[in-house]
Amino acid sequence: MKDFKQIFFQTLFLVILLITSPAGYSTIELKEFDSPEQEALYRKLIAELRCLVCQNQNLADSNAELAVDLRRQTYEMIRDGSDKQQVIDYMVERYGEFVLYRPPFTASTLLLWLGPFIILVAGILILIRIIRGRKALQPQTLSADEQEKVRALLREESGK
């Protein structure tokens, strides 16, 4: 009887765990395309476009309402025959360059692309300067007169 209760409660626990699992709440969008190329383009675009309300997520990974709307808009544009650049141009015109998950290399994004490298080079230069500064520090030798004064102070301290 004890084994039956244990098995029953373990099974019940497992069923409850599976029912409440977040993976069960994920949705799979089934979209019909005229060709596999259109579907591939759709998948590529939703991976390259950013969810505007999420932190660092693309449209493919986001479940936000705006992301759902943007995926729908992308789908409709592809079904209507728009190519990749037309969809991107439309999204950038409407939402700005922030919608691009990987912004283009332009004058306005120069610091964004080069900033990490500039910080890395500056860090290396500072490290080299610190290391060279340590090598430049040589222990100072005391003159004979200074050494005698130090010995006298030490004798005086040890005599107390």
- Over residues 30-49, the mean pLDDT reads 88
Task: Please give the structure tokens belonging to residue 44.
Answer: 């590529």
> pTM for this one?
0.55
Task: Please give the structure tokens belonging to residue 61.
Answer: 């990974």
pLDDT exceeds cutoff 60 at 10 = yes
56 with 89: CB under 8 angstroms? Answer: no
User: Would you call 96 helix, strand, or coil by DSSP?
Assistant: coil
78 with 41: CB under 8 angstroms? Answer: yes
pLDDT of residue 123: 94
- Over residues 63-77, the mean pLDDT reads 91
Domains of the chain: 29-104 (1.10.8.640), 108-159 (no CATH)
pLDDT of residue 44: 93
pLDDT of residue 5: 82
On average, the pLDDT of the chain sits at 84
pLDDT of residue 117: 93
pLDDT of residue 19: 80
- Over residues 18-27, the mean pLDDT reads 64
Angle separating helix axes 36-48 and 65-79, nearest 10 degrees: 150
User: Would you call 50 helix, strand, or coil by DSSP?
Assistant: strand
